[in-house]
Structures are given as structure tokens and as C-alpha cells.
């Protein structure tokens, strides 16, 4: 396969980060394709939970949303949302919450609510959805998002969900881990340098002493993404 | 004894101006047909409740039926923003009251169970309680732990779409169940909109599948494909082209008004909407079969 | 990956001396086979939890496995008293902790949902809170109303009998569902005892029917007729003659000991118990068919 | 039909009291047969709820207990007990809770817990079951029980459920209504006189000014009880 896009690298890195995960709560947007790739590569036995009320999904196609009917057909269990939030998430059965985000700060706080003041928003974003409870109840949380000074801000305008449980952020430039209370760059994607990341980060960037380079997507990963999972570029646009 | 009425009758009877209305369904079984009829009857000052104000609430807000929105996630799933709602929120024309999904589900559950509050683990270190004073805490009398609580939500009417119901409103749903059960039990009135109105024996043959009993249902509307462009598990798929196309319509108030004129005000009812949509629209939206299998309840005499 | 083990293995692994054990099932699907194996393995000092300590707990208490009973209704349903338990309670040999049914269900629900308490409307003007200090109140931060709460119940192990499960423990039940789901999610370990161990595809063909996911299940025991003399909807009826006859056995400690010798200590396992019971016993206990019908989940590709 | 027993009269009176009831929560024991008779006579449209998790039962035989499989087959809905207690009973959808009792006092307080002190019981009874929540949440409560000085006591040894919601008590001797805070005799069954009732009541009996006589069981009622509903005398023993 020739080359790869930053989005493809981000999705591949997101999928690889799920190696060893048993139960993943899949959030809205990009996590869906990363999870689909993980299920076909590093985490064949992963169990997928969706806030729409599905446990143990085996989607026969790439879901268009977290409420796609293909998530139900062939799943282990479909239930009301109250049961899912209470007996799976709040009960502590979720190993990993895998979320997207609009805005994120140095401390891992996530904002998906508003840009600007709450009562007079510059931009009204979707809001919490399940993010607030996922952040509090999943054993750990990963965020997958494109990185820029607009999205990586010193202090989020609104804390939709706290950074407390956020352990890893995977972007189109690299990877961050939560270390000593702040997000620290641990991996650079191939072809990206630290200055580029610094440029796209709205706070004084902390870089890990053991900074590593992500392995580029393999041909097999790219083929799965491009030919099997998302030939219509629903997520990879 | 039959509760079967037309959608126009159901909306006229149970959705008065100023009412608190929940058209529930999490991506699945969203009663667009009911939303359109509310627009057709030009209701005003409604408080619309729903975890995920979807395209149907964007249409309703765009048509001017709402005064307030109670919600937890505001977007066109997989597409982007709901522009009519976003305009109304950003301009201050639409009041909002905001929770998380679990919080909204807990609110319906408290309403359904007649509880003064519902406890849940969420909102820790979140700014949501700062902007919504209804998010409070209670201290456990056992270990002293503080836990967040939400207040009951009791809609004046909850409207749900279902795969099947009998004429008394006994309702069965499969696939994603969302919070329709809780929203129905929480409400003063319930309207069930069904793909099929079946013989009571069909319901009674599988009592564990019953989601909502006729006991809490006021009206049953027979409305096949009434969830379009959302989906009905086993009946039809989501019409994703509609959701994608809605983005451009919703961005432009003039286009939105024209859309409402053509598809809602310009159609007498959902049958008219379906006629305009055309039979070809359903090509590719019909799934193959995947039957559940049966279980045996046993005949005990 | 299979979790299928023998009952002897399951009890040896998950029911240690001193454990808090819930063998749940409200009249339906009571795992007598598990109770008998606990007796056979001569467990001691168990805390037995169950809404309705039925004949199986009478047998277990009579055999001396229990130190304490947590319950809400103590009787031989439709017959009278559980004499072994009643003797132990009246003599003070068995400690008790007492709730109402809703209170017990709420306790399991709090355990299952990881809540510090569960609120419910019960115990108003009742003497129960005076004798059970675990029954407390919480004040609503909305309207100031006081409501009773119960603390979470988290068994070390919950054992449930089911009509079917797959080898990973994904479990489906129909008919009376009791509080098995809550008791399973609340527990540290779960043992599922199944009439049938089925292919995972049987479970996945009807995901809305799944009561307990394998995620919380540690062991699966294949044990047809393991709920005798209680019933399994669609499989067999309650053996009422057994319940009636138990009254006289349970009244007399010597007869009870002889019964345990013959039917529990004197049988190697549930297959041995069934052999002794004889095939004729099932005449009249087998219902006619009453199939649920199927629903279509749809094949979406 | 020749004659009738006091138990038959009690069950018939219990059934008739359900005329007009829409939703009845059926308790353990004698209420089962009274409800079965009511469903076939005065209340054909009555909806039956059982704490075992059934709504809208249409039992094809007389249930042996409130957890009989015949209650599920052909019912409108079968569910977990949490749903039933929360969304039906606590929600306020139950018009009538129909219960049995072991001991009852002048104020309608019911004891099904202990005779004697709680910690050193003379007799250990079954306990609350669902009675405590039914008493609090049903719109009204009827009790069906045999009457004697042992069961009709001045003050119950233990209040399992409060008499607050108890509106009617039907016994083998007559019927009582909750009036001015205490149980008042309103009906005498045929052949019973007030002295007999006074003799079987452990407190100074209050008799209604409009005391009436219950109509005796009809032939149709007796035939249903004896031939169709309970030929084996499960409840009528």
C-alpha cells in the first residue's frame, strides 16, 4: 500500500492501543473505526459495549453510528440503557472507555459542550452524551481526536468530563499519556517532529524522556481500513 | 375498548400547546411521523425532552413548536450539528436544560418509579452541575459517600414508535430499547405508534418481550414506516442519505422552511409523506431475515 | 475458553466456608442441585441470602451449612412453614436479617449498580426498621421528602438456574425472572446452572432475551432438571407433591436427617438424585407446548 | 348446591368486593382463589399483578402459588421483580392490593412476622414478603383472613405493614371497613350474629349503624369454586 494519511495513522494507533483490552465502551465517531480495526487485528476477543444498549456486538458492517442496527443483530445482549449504564458501566465492568472529543486541555479535561461561555456560546457543541459517566466509571479512558491549537487548549471552556480517568490520547500527530497530572507526549507518528506537535498544542508541551516513534500502519491494517472497513470513507474522510 | 386512533387524533388529544413532550428512541424507532403531525397541527411552546434531539427535533424546533429543550446530546448522529436547534440555542430563542445520557435515563426512571430522585455516578469534577442546578447530591446513610442525583422527569406525554402493539396498547419492541419503557411509565399519557397492530395473542405468546403494557397507553396509532428516516430493527434500515442531506437543509432557514412546506405542511399525513418519498426510496433499506428462534413457555393445565 | 464444569467443581471453587451465598429464583428455577452439592461438600458458616428461603434453604439449614439468613419471606409456598429454619430461628441458632421483597430486590439492585443505597417506598409505619438497623432514610434534595433506603447486597457467589446458557455463560431465561439478573451482577462470582448448554448462535439469535452476560459468569454447570422440585418454565412443572410431603419431613429432625442421608449424602450428584427419583416422577409434570413465536432482527450488511 | 362453608362464604365475599377493580395485586394464599372467582364473575376485565413478576395473567388453571408457571403462559407481560415493584406498584398503577394476614389489630395493622417478641419469637411467621410495599403503594388494600381472638388482636405483636391503606377486611364471619380510624363491622355473613363476631374479636367491637347481611353464595359461585376452580380443595380445605 502506498503511504498513509494522518487520520489512518491515528486510527491504526488507536486500534493498537486496545491490545489486551477485554471490554471496551465505544464512544461516538472515530473510536468506532478504531475499534472495528482492533477487533480484526490486535483484540479479536474484545467485547464491545455501546451506550445504545448493546453488549458483545459483532457488527457485520462498519456501524454508521453507535445506534446502528448491525450492532444488535448477532450481539450477545441488547437491553435498555438504564441496565447498561447501571449494571455494566457503573458496576465497573468496563475496562476501557474509548471516546472522541472536541476540546481537551493539559490536564486531560474534555469539553464537548460549548466553545465560549455556557450562557452565550460561540459554538454550541453536542454536550455530554454518555461521556461524563464513562469518564467516571470506566477503568481507564482513551481519547482519539485530531490535534490543533483550537482543540488542544490550555484550559477547556467547559469541563464536560474530568481528566481524572483519562490515561491516553491518540491524535493524528502522536500519542500522549497522563503522567504526573498532565498530558505528556510519548509517541510521534512517522514523519512528525516535536515542533509540529508543540505548534499544535495550546500549552507548554511536556515530552516524555522515552519518546518513541509509532510504527507506521502495516499493509494489512491499511488494506482492512480501506477495502473492508471503510471503503466509502465514512470515518476516514 | 380499542385504543387505535389516527395520528392526527392522537396528537390533537395528547399534545396540547405548552405540553412537556418526549418522543423517545435512541437512534432506533424515532417517531418522525408524530413529530411531523405536531408541526402540522402548529403546536407552540412545547418543552421537548429527549436524550438525543435528532433530526426530528431539529425539524420541530425549526418549525417553531418548542420553547425549551431538555436533552443530553445534541447532534445529527454521524453527520454533525442540528443547525436549527443550534441557531435557536445560540440566539437564546430556545431555553435548554442539559444532562448526560445516564442523567436523562435516571430522570425518566425516577418518574417511572415514582421516586423523588435517582442516584447515579456521574458529573464528578464536571462543570454540568454548575450550569444545571437540578443536578444535586445526596449523602449515603451507610458510608457517608456523596452521590449525584437527578430529579424525576414526568412528561405530559411520551410518544414511542414500536414494531408491534395490540389494540389495547400492549407493546413489544426488539433491538435497541433505549429508555422508552422508563419514558412511558414516567408520563401522564402515552401514545404508541406501531409498525404493526397485532392480535393480543401475538403479545401473549411471548410475555417477556412486552416493553410497555396497555395499562399506561392512551392511544395506539398504526403507522408503518413512521420512524423514517430512522430505523426499525428487522423492518428497515436507517436512511442515511436523508441524515446527510438534512445538514444542508438545516443550515439554511429558507431551505428548512421550504422542506417543511413540501414534506410536512404539504402532506396530509404520514401516508402522504410516504407517497412523496416514493417506493424506490426503500431499495437497499430492507434487511435480510434474521429470526430470533422461539422459546417454549409451556401450556400448564 | 469454556466455563463448563461439574457442579462439584463449581461448588468447590466458588462456595468456600463462611461465604455469603445467594441461590436466587422466585419460585421458578431454584437450583436445588446446587444446594444439595453444598450440603454434600459439608460447607459451614454460610450466610444464605434469598427473598424466599424455600425448601432448598430448609434442607441446607437442616444440614447445618448456615450461620445466618438474609431474607424477606420465610415459608413453604402454598404449604406452610419451613420447619428446620423455623426451629433454628426460634432457638437462636440461626441469625436472621430481614427485609421485604422490594427491599431485598433493591439491595441486589444497589449491588448490581454499584450504588451506596437503593431508595424505595416501603416500611412506612412498619416495625421492620426498628428491628433491622440497615433500613434507613434519605432526604430528597428536591422536595425534602424522606424515603427509605436499603444498603447494597453483594454476595460472594450467586447461583442461578436457567433454561439455557452457552459455554461462556451467556444466559437466557424466560417466564418469571425474579431478581436473578440483579443478584448475578451484584455478586463477586456467578455460577449458572443450565437445563441446556447451547451454541452461542442460539443466544446471539435473540440478544434481547439475554438475562446475564458471560462477562459476569465464572462457571456453567449443565444440569437438566436441576431445579426439581421447583419448575423450569416450558420444561417441567413444580412437583407440588414434593413440597407437600416436605412439611412432615421437615417437622421431624430425625426424618430430615434420614432424608438428607438418602437423597443428598447418599447420591453422588444430581444425576444420582434423578435416578433415585425415577422417570415416572415426571409423569404429569411436563407441560404441553406454547411457543413464543419469533421476531426478525434483520440481517444488515 | 346444598349449603356452603364459612370459607366458601369468605371467598365469595372477597370476590364480590373486587367488582369494578381494574388492577389487582394478588397476595399469597386465599386471595388467589377469590381473585380467580372474581375474574370469572364480577370482574372479567380485571388485570392481575403478581409480585413474582407478572402483569395481566390469564391462568389456565388455579395457581398453586403466586409463582405458578400458569400465570406466565398467556400473560400480557412477564418481567423482573424490580420492574414490577418500581414501575407498576410504586408508580401507583395498582388499584387494589389483596392480601392475607396472620394477625390484625383494631387499627388494621397487619402482622405476618412474629407472635411474641421479635428476638425471642413464640412463633416465627413468614415475614413481610411484598406486604410492606403493597400496603404503602396500592390505592387501597383488602385483607382476606379467618377470624378468631388469636388473629384479631387488640394490638399486633409486630407491625409488618401499617393499617393506613387497609380499607376492607373480609373474614369467615363478616366484613369490616376502616371507619374513623378503626375496623368496623359492616356485614354479617348469613347465619352469623354480632355476638359471634364479638367473641372472635380481641377488641371492643365497633358495629356499623348500617350493618347489613351478606348475600349467600349463589349456586353459580359455588359451582365455579367447587367444580372448576378448586376441585382438589387446595384453597378451600
Beta strand pairing call for B146-150 and B118-120: antiparallel
| Residue positions counted in chain C | 301
Per DSSP, B231 falls in state: B
Within 10 Å of residue D211's Cβ, how many Cβ atoms? 15
Residue pair D198/D173 in contact (Cβ under 8 Å)? The answer is no
Within 10 Å of residue B268's Cβ, how many Cβ atoms? 11
C185/A56 CB distance under 8 A: no
- A-C interface: how many C-beta pairs under 8 angstroms? 75
Looking at residues A33-61, what average pLDDT do you find?
A: 96
3-state secondary structure of A177: strand
Segment C171-189, tens digit of pLDDT: 999 999 999 999 999 999 9
d(CA C21, CA C30): 13
Chains that touch A (3 or more CB pairs under 8 A): B, C
Chains that touch B (3 or more CB pairs under 8 A): A, C, D
| Residue positions counted in chain D | 237
Name residues 269-288 of chain C within 8 A of D (Cβ): 287
Instruction: Give the pLDDT confidence score for residue A59 in this predicted structure.
Output: 93
- B-C interface: how many C-beta pairs under 8 angstroms? 147
Task: Supply D25's cell numbers.
Answer: 395485586
For chain A, what percent of residues have pLDDT higher than 70?
99
Name residues 242-271 of chain B within 8 A of A (Cβ): none
Residue pair B34/B157 in contact (Cβ under 8 Å)? The answer is no
Residues in chain C with CB shorter than 8 Å from the CB of B292 are: 205-206, 209, 294-297
Name which of A75, A86, A87 is nearest C204 (Cβ-Cβ): A75
d(CA B170, CA B192): 9
B300/D70 CB distance under 8 A: yes
DSSP D188-222: E-TT--HHHHHHT-SS--EEEEEEEEPPPPPHHHH
CA nearest neighbour of C50 among C111, C113, C99:
C99
3-state secondary structure of C241: helix
Mean pLDDT over the full length of chain B? 97
Task: Supply C292's cell numbers.
Answer: 413464543
> What's the pTM?
0.98
Name which of A73, A82, A234 is nearest B179 (Cβ-Cβ): A82
DSSP B16-54: -TT-EEEE--SSBS--HHHHHHHHHTT--SEEEE-SS--
Which residue among A51, A83, A182, A221 is the active-site one?
A51
CA nearest neighbour of B98 among A124, A135, C214:
A124
A128/B126 CB distance under 8 A: yes
Q: Give the domain ranges of chain D.
A: 6-229
Name residues 47-86 of chain B within 8 A of A (Cβ): 51-52, 71-75, 77-78, 81, 86
Q: Give CATH for domain A6-229.
A: 3.40.1080.10
B89/A51 CB distance under 8 A: no
The chain A residue lying nearest C181, using CA atoms, is A87
Phi-psi region of A74 (alpha: psi -120 to 50; beta: other; left: phi over 0): left
Beta strand pairing call for B157-165 and B146-150: unpaired
For B150, the enclosing helix (H) or strand (E) is strand B146-150
Q: State yes or no: pLDDT of D58 exceeds 70.
A: yes
CA nearest neighbour of B154 among B184, B180, B179, B132:
B184
Residues in chain A with CB shorter than 8 Å from the CB of C214 are: 76
Sign of CA dihedral B199, C300, B50, C110: positive
Residues in chain D with CB shorter than 8 Å from the CB of C95 are: none
Beta strand pairing call for D166-170 and D140-144: parallel
Is B25's Cβ below 8 Å from some Cβ in D? no
Strand order in the sheet with A110-111: A110-111, A103-105, A152-153
Which class would CATH give B4-104+153-282? alpha beta
Distances (CA, A) of B70 to A67, A134, B73, D37, D119: 20, 21, 10, 48, 51
Residues of D noted as catalytic? 51
Strands (E), A100-229: 103-105, 110-111, 114-115, 123-124, 140-144, 152-153, 166-170, 174-179, 182-188, 206-213
Distance from CA of B59 to the nearest CA of D (A): 32
Segment A225-236, tens digit of pLDDT: 999 999 988 888
Per-residue pLDDT of chain C (301 residues; tens, 9 = 90+): 799 999 999 999 999 999 999 999 999 999 999 999 999 999 999 999 999 999 999 999 999 999 999 999 999 987 889 999 999 998 889 999 999 999 999 999 999 999 999 999 999 999 999 999 999 999 999 999 999 999 999 999 999 999 999 999 999 999 999 999 999 999 999 999 999 999 999 999 999 999 999 999 999 999 999 999 999 999 999 999 999 999 999 999 999 999 999 999 999 999 999 999 999 999 999 999 999 999 999 999 8
Residue pair B88/B94 in contact (Cβ under 8 Å)? The answer is yes
Distances (CA, A) of C136 to C121, C130, C133, D109: 12, 10, 7, 21
- Phi, psi (deg, nearest 5) at residue A162: -70, 155
Distances (CA, A) of B94 to B29, B46, B90, B104, B251: 25, 11, 8, 19, 17
Q: State yes or no: pLDDT of A1 exceeds 80.
A: no
Per DSSP, D54 falls in state: E
- A-B interface: how many C-beta pairs under 8 angstroms? 158
d(CA C205, CA B292): 5
Within 10 Å of residue D213's Cβ, how many Cβ atoms? 12
Instruction: Give the pLDDT confidence score for residue C194 in this predicted structure.
Output: 98
The chain D residue lying nearest B108, using CA atoms, is D87
Q: State yes or no: pLDDT of B297 exceeds 80.
A: yes
Q: State yes or no: pLDDT of D2 exceeds 90.
A: no
Within 10 Å of residue A213's Cβ, how many Cβ atoms? 12
Task: Supply A231's cell numbers.
Answer: 471503503
d(CA B147, CA B130): 16
Task: Supply B282's cell numbers.
Answer: 426503500
Distance from CA of A75 to the nearest CA of C (A): 5
CA nearest neighbour of B210 among D55, D49, D63:
D55
Residue pair B20/B49 in contact (Cβ under 8 Å)? The answer is yes
Segment A147-158, tens digit of pLDDT: 999 999 999 999
Residues in chain D with CB shorter than 8 Å from the CB of B109 are: 86
Question: ipTM score of the complex?
Answer: 0.97
For chain B, what percent of residues have pLDDT higher than 70?
100
Segment B94-142, tens digit of pLDDT: 999 999 999 999 999 999 999 999 999 999 999 999 999 999 999 999 9
Peptide bond preceding C4 in cis form (omega within 30 of 0): no
Name residues 141-200 of chain C within 8 A of A (Cβ): 170, 181-182, 185, 200
d(CA C60, CA C77): 17
Residues in chain C with CB shorter than 8 Å from the CB of D53 are: 26, 176-178
Interface test with C, best of B291, B299, B301 (most C CBs within 10 A): B291
D129/C100 CB distance under 8 A: yes
Task: Supply C227's cell numbers.
Answer: 431445579
D67/C105 CB distance under 8 A: no
For A40, the enclosing helix (H) or strand (E) is helix A31-40
Question: Which pLDDT band, with edges at 50, 70 and 90, does D1 fall under?
Answer: low
C174/B208 CB distance under 8 A: yes
C106/D82 CB distance under 8 A: yes
Q: Give the domain ranges of chain B.
A: 4-104+153-282, 122-147
For C171, the enclosing helix (H) or strand (E) is strand C171-172
B234/C205 CB distance under 8 A: no
Name residues 171-210 of chain B within 8 A of C (Cβ): 172, 174-175, 177, 202, 205-206, 208-209
Segment C64-86, tens digit of pLDDT: 999 999 999 999 987 889 999 99
For B138, the enclosing helix (H) or strand (E) is strand B136-139
Instruction: Give the pLDDT confidence score for residue D236 in this predicted structure.
Output: 85
List D49's β-bridge partners, or say none.
D25, D55
Amino acid at each position: 500500500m502506498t503511504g498513509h494519511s494522518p487520520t489512518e495513522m491515528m486510527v491504526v494507533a488507536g486500534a493498537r492501543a486496545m491490545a489486551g483490552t477485554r471490554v471496551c465502551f465505544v464512544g461516538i465517531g472515530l473510536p468506532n473505526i478504531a475499534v472495528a480495526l482492533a477487533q480484526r487485528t490486535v483484540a479479536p476477543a474484545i467485547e464491545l459495549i455501546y451506550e445504545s444498549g448493546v453488549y458483545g456486538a459483532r457488527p457485520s458492517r462498519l456501524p454508521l453510528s453507535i445506534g446502528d442496527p448491525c450492532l444488535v443483530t448477532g450481539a450477545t445482549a441488547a437491553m435498555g440503557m438504564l441496565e447498561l449504564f447501571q449494571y455494566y458501566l457503573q458496576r465497573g465492568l468496563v475496562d476501557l472507555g474509548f471516546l472522541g472529543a472536541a476540546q481537551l486541555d493539559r490536564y486531560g479535561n474534555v469539553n464537548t459542550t460549548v466553545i465560549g461561555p455556557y450562557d452565550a456560546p460561540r459554538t454550541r457543541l453536542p454536550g455530554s452524551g454518555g461521556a461524563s459517566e464513562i469518564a467516571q466509571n470506566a477503568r481507564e479512558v482513551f481519547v482519539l481526536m485530531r490535534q490543533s491549537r483550537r482543540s488542544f487548549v490550555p484550559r477547556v471552556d467547559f469541563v464536560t468530563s474530568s481528566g481524572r480517568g483519562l490515561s491516553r490520547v491518540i491524535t493524528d500527530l502522536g500519542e500522549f499519556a497522563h503522567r504526573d497530572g498532565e498530558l505528556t507526549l510519548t509517541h510521534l507518528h512517522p514523519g512528525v517532529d516535536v515542533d509540529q506537535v508543540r505548534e499544535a498544542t495550546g500549552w507548554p508541551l511536556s515530552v516524555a524522556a522515552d519518546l518513541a516513534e509509532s510504527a507506521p500502519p502495516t499493509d494489512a491494517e491499511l488494506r482492512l481500513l480501506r477495502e473492508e472497513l471503510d471503503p466509502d470513507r465514512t470515518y476516514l474522510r | 375498548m380499542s385504543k387505535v386512533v389516527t395520528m392526527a387524533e392522537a396528537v390533537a388529544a395528547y399534545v396540547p400547546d405548552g405540553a412537556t413532550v418526549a418522543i423517545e428512541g435512541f437512534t432506533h424507532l424515532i417517531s418522525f411521523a408524530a413529530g411531523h403531525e405536531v408541526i402540522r397541527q402548529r403546536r407552540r411552546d412545547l418543552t421537548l425532552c429527549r436524550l438525543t434531539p435528532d433530526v426530528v427535533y431539529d425539524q420541530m424546533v425549526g418549525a417553531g413548536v418548542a420553547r425549551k429543550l431538555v436533552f443530553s446530546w445534541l447532534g445529527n448522529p454521524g453527520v454533525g450539528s442540528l443547525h436549527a436547534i443550534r441557531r435557536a440555542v445560540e440566539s437564546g430563542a430556545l431555553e435548554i436544560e442539559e444532562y448526560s445520557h445516564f442523567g436523562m435515563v435516571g430522570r425518566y426512571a425516577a418518574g417511572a418509579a415514582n421516586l423523588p430522585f435517582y442516584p447515579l455516578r456521574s458529573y464528578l469534577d464536571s462543570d454540568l452541575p454548575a450550569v444545571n442546578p437540578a443536578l444535586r447530591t445526596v449523602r449515603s446513610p451507610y458510608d457517608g459517600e456523596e452521590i449525584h442525583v437527578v430529579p424525576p422527569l414526568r412528561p405530559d406525554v411520551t410518544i414511542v414508535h414500536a414494531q408491534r402493539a395490540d389494540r389495547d396498547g400492549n407493546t413489544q419492541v426488539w433491538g435497541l430499547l433505549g429508555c422508552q419503557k422508563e419514558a412511558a411509565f414516567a408520563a401522564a399519557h402515552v401514545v404508541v405508534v406501531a409498525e404493526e397492530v397485532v392480535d393480543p395473542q401475538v403479545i401473549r405468546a411471548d410475555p417477556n418481550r412486552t416493553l410497555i403494557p396497555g395499562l399506561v397507553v392512551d392511544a395506539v396509532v398504526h403507522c408503518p414506516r413512521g420512524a423514517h428516516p430512522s430505523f426499525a430493527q428487522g423492518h428497515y434500515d436507517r436512511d442515511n442519505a436523508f441524515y446527510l442531506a438534512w445538514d444542508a437543509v438545516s443550515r439554511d432557514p429558507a431551505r428548512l422552511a421550504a422542506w417543511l412546506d413540501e414534506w410536512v405542511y404539504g402532506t396530509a399525513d404520514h401516508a402522504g409523506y410516504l407517497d412523496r418519498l416514493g417506493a424506490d426510496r426503500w431499495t437497499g433499506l430492507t434487511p435480510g431475515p434474521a429470526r430470533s428462534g422461539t422459546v417454549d413457555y409451556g401450556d400448564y393445565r
